[in-house]
Structures are given as structure tokens and as C-alpha cells.
Amino acid sequence: MTRTCKKTAWRPARSRSGSVTDRTNPLAVKVAALNIPLYRDPAVMLIDQLKEISIAGELEVVETANWNPKVTRRDYMVGDCHVVG
């Protein structure tokens, strides 16, 4: 007894919120970071890594005086927080 399989075209996986694997329609995310090189530089590296998995990151630089009120209001999508010490 021989089994035959029909070949089907490969289709990229799709998520419910859109097409994460589709390079023409990437998911858009804002990355908030303090305007200090210690916080800003890792945020830029994060955005670069997100591009590899089809997520378009946008850097939102926040001044130091405005950071705590922004975090308190939870007015961010992705916040870059480091604990140094």
C-alpha cells in the first residue's frame, strides 16, 4: 500500500493581531528611554534586534524630569529601565 501526499505551497504563520512574520506590514512599537547614553544606547540596540523579527521600533527619548511622571501614568509601550548599583 502506497501513500501519496499532495504538495502544498508554504504559507508564513500569521498571528491574530496581524502578520508578525510579514515584512511588508510590521508590528509598530514605541520604545521609551531616558535621554542619557546609559539608557538610550541599549534602547537603540533593542530596536535593531526587534527589526530582525519584523517589529518596527520607534525610539521615544524622554527627558529626565519627565520620566517619572510618564512611568506613573503608564504612558509607554516598552520602557527601557536599568537598575544600576
Helix (H) or strand (E) holding 55: strand 55-62
Is the model's pLDDT at 78 over the cut of 90?
Answer: no
Confidence of residue 71 (pLDDT cuts 50, 70, 90): confident
- Quote the CA–CA distance of 35 and 47 in Å, as a whole number: 16
Is the model's pLDDT at 4 over the cut of 70?
Answer: no
Using one digit for the tens of pLDDT, what is the confidence trace for 5-59?
554 444 455 555 554 455 678 889 888 889 999 889 999 999 999 999 989 999 9
Helix (H) or strand (E) holding 56: strand 55-62
Predicted TM-score of the model (pTM)? 0.63
Degrees, nearest 5: CA angle 44-49-55 = 100
